Amino acid sequence: MQCHEEPPVCGAHLDADGRCLWRVWAPRARRVELVLSGGISRTLAMQSKSRGYFEAELPDIAEGQRYAFRLDGKDPRPDPASRWQPQGVHAPSAVFDPRPFSWTDAGWQGVPRNELVIYELHVGTFTPEGTFAAIIPRLPALVELGVTAIELMPVNQFPGHRDWGYDGVQWSAVQNTYGGPRALQQLVDACHGAGLAVILDVVHNHLGPEGNYLPEFGPYFSTRFRTPWGEGINYDDGGSDAVRGHVLASVRRWFRDFHVDGLRLDAIHAINDTSPRHLLAEIKEAADDEAAKLGWPAHVIGESDLNDVRILRGCKECGHGLDAQWSDDFHHSVHCLLTGERAGYYADYPEPATQLVKALNETFVYDGCYSPFRDRHHGAPAGGISGERFVVSLQTHDQVGNRARGERLHQLISPPQQRLAAGLLLLAPHTPLLFMGEEYGETRPFLYFCDFGDRGLQNAIRQGRMREFAAFQWKQPIPDPNAATTFEASQLTWSWSAGSHHAGLRQLYCDLLAARRTWPALRDFRHRHASLIGEGRVLCLLRGNPERSSELLVAYFNLSATPQALPAADRPPQMLLRSEIARYGGADSSPAQLAPWAFAVFGSQSGAAP
């Protein structure tokens, strides 16, 4: 008896000789037929194996061969482990062979965690074409900006032509309207050639509501708990071995077949697993194993609102061993400071300047203290874990797209405040994440959009959005998520004409990101000290090891709408960068003081300006 037997890997497996093995887990079916269409058209009874698996094998199969599974004589269904859905979630799957692609990234060694600068983008709205291929010509601009990794919002198959990606129903299939699996390989290869890592956003806490045929196959869902998006995934009840195996096989495929550098795990607080070894730890192990074969590090980043570093600690410390986690406390503090908003969860940030100081010093604002929004104590201390293991941001798809009108932060604040926010983010002792268009002040919103075919589901989405925004005291109509115009309104202009405010803002981002590469203090994520001075109107941020005084940096941020004096004592001698100059679209104010919402950075001669 084997105690650690791995579940069989499902899907269509094509070998070099054209022989294809199909395997499906369908314990709820008495008999399963393989239905082939296009190319070869025939129906074949599959052999029943142990524990609910069925198999069939045929020679002379070509890539692209369409297939589906018929359970107990009912309508054919696409493969739950499909890697290619050329005609969408309801149509037959297609055989995909990842091996013929000629990779050119043999010399790629990845990006170390402490050098990550992440750029989150949505494939469908990043370019007018909305495809993987259309991203490639824009890679040089991202390299010039100074980011080191792109993070793709979910690209696994979702219903229709437009969606954020979190309504996906097939974990391993690559969205057909983006170009499908081969085009994703081409994009990753091009990114590596440009020096950029690729992180995929993957969703293992729920599945979308349309095209979700998994319950017909087996117990993929749990009856013991629900997530905000519906039934939870069955990771620890009867049949869960196969479900976990399905997820882990998908994780391995992203690395092995598509050469990705990392995964961003969506809403891991909604993954319920009481198993002795948590699924998150197994995901990290699978990612590390595959990345080691490729020759670069795997970055597994969890999105969590629990403020609990157990997900980062190793197994010996009763943790899951993830590399990093998203942390929203920095975002919420900055947002409330600059906008004055206090509705919804922003009610937890009544003293944003003081709370921002805590976020810079200790990462978590809510580290066991009482949360008025939750009406309970929340979080635990970060426990001295190095700052690069926390991903912070000014904007994300959630924080922008989950606003009723999809406004970006810079549409809510003044240009000097935009520059101040950029300085806070890129001088902070954490891993920064930029949301596409942030760096030049994109004027178009990023709205929530989808493309469901079911009218009842369309209405439910509209009504659900209105209920959600009631907590933020929003009473006006919102853009229809299912309308094509909502999607189109969210496409980037990708424009920063010379001499414009947008060009100045982008230049500031470029210079700050260059500083992160060249100033030693900004590569030190452990030594930092933030405080409020000047009657609480100025935030002082010290970066670097005090024992290396020649490398220390001090940044002063004016958190008010009135000019503030620059401290004359206890600061390095040289001003390395200041925000309110013409180069960045500012008014070229006097360097002797901090203009409203301005910041300035001081260092020694060794900390040369970028």
Domain CATH for 339 = 3.20.20.80
- Same-domain status, 258 and 207: yes
CATH code, domain with 56: 2.60.40.10
Cα separation, 334 vs 101, in Å, equals 45
pLDDT above 60 (res 609): no
pLDDT, average across residues 277-304 = 97
Residue 255 domain-assigned (yes or no)? yes
Read off the pLDDT of residues 391-442 as tens digits, 9 standing for 90 and up. Answer: 999 999 999 998 989 999 999 999 999 999 999 999 999 999 999 999 999 9
pLDDT, average across residues 46-64 = 97
Cα–Cα distances (Å) from 55 to 147, 205, 235, 280, in that order, read 45, 28, 24, 29
Cα separation, 424 vs 600, in Å, equals 11
Residue 550 has a pLDDT of 87
CATH code, domain with 542: 2.60.40.1180
Residue 238 has a pLDDT of 94
- For the annotated catalytic residues, the residue numbers are 266, 303
Contacts of 72 (CB under 8 A, 6+ apart): 29, 30, 31, 32
- Same-domain status, 210 and 80: no
pLDDT band at 21 (very low <50, low <70, confident <90, very high): very high
Cβ of 375: how many Cβ atoms within 10 Å? Answer: 8
Which of 94, 121, 138 marks a domain boundary? 94
Lowest mean pLDDT among 267-271, 301-305, 376-380, 458-462: 458-462
pLDDT above 60 (res 366): yes
Indicate the number of domains in the chain.
Answer: 3
- Same-domain status, 480 and 563: no
- Same-domain status, 197 and 227: yes
pLDDT, average across residues 573-582 = 94
Structure tokens at 435: 């949301």
- Same-domain status, 194 and 270: yes
Residue 478 has a pLDDT of 84
pLDDT, average across residues 494-508 = 97
- Same-domain status, 213 and 322: yes
pLDDT above 60 (res 515): yes
Cα separation, 538 vs 378, in Å, equals 28
- Contact 359/331 with Cβ under 8 angstroms? no
pLDDT above 70 (res 281): yes
Q: Where are the beta strands (DSSP E) in 254-375?
A: 262-265, 299-302, 324-326, 369-371
Residue 250 domain-assigned (yes or no)? yes
Read off the pLDDT of residues 132-186 as tens digits, 9 standing for 90 and up. Answer: 999 999 999 999 999 999 999 999 999 999 999 999 999 999 999 999 999 999 9
- Contact 133/124 with Cβ under 8 angstroms? no
pLDDT above 50 (res 1): no
Please say whether the dihedral angle defined by the alpha carbons of residues 26, 27, 29 and 30, taken in this order, is positive or negative. positive
Nearest Cα to Cα of residue 408 among 448, 380, 368, 438:
438
Residue 108 domain-assigned (yes or no)? no
pLDDT band at 589 (very low <50, low <70, confident <90, very high): confident
- Same-domain status, 117 and 74: no
Residue 506 domain-assigned (yes or no)? no
- Same-domain status, 394 and 340: yes
- Same-domain status, 437 and 536: no
Query: Taking the mean position of all CA atoms in its chain, how far away is CA 344?
Result: 23
Residue 444 domain-assigned (yes or no)? yes
What is the pTM assigned to this prediction? 0.96
Cα–Cα distances (Å) from 73 to 30, 31, 53, 76, 508, in that order, read 10, 8, 17, 8, 63
- Same-domain status, 223 and 84: no
What single string gives the DSSP state of each residue in 198-241? EEEEE--S---SSS--HHHHS--EEEEEEETTEEEE-SSSTTHH
Which of 443, 464, 489 marks a domain boundary? 489
Residue 520 domain-assigned (yes or no)? no
Read off the pLDDT of residues 431-490 as tens digits, 9 standing for 90 and up. Answer: 999 999 999 999 999 999 999 988 888 888 877 777 777 655 566 778 899 999 999 999
Residue 502 domain-assigned (yes or no)? no
- Same-domain status, 437 and 582: no
**DSSP summary character for residue 300:** E
Residue 74 domain-assigned (yes or no)? yes
Q: What average pLDDT does the structure give for the chain?
A: 94
pLDDT, average across residues 121-142 = 98
- Same-domain status, 90 and 123: no
Please say whether the dihedral angle defined by the alpha carbons of residues 3, 280, 191 and 447, taken in this order, is positive or negative. positive
Contacts of 90 (CB under 8 A, 6+ apart): 78, 211
Residue 229 has a pLDDT of 74
> Which structural domain range is residue 84 located in?
11-94
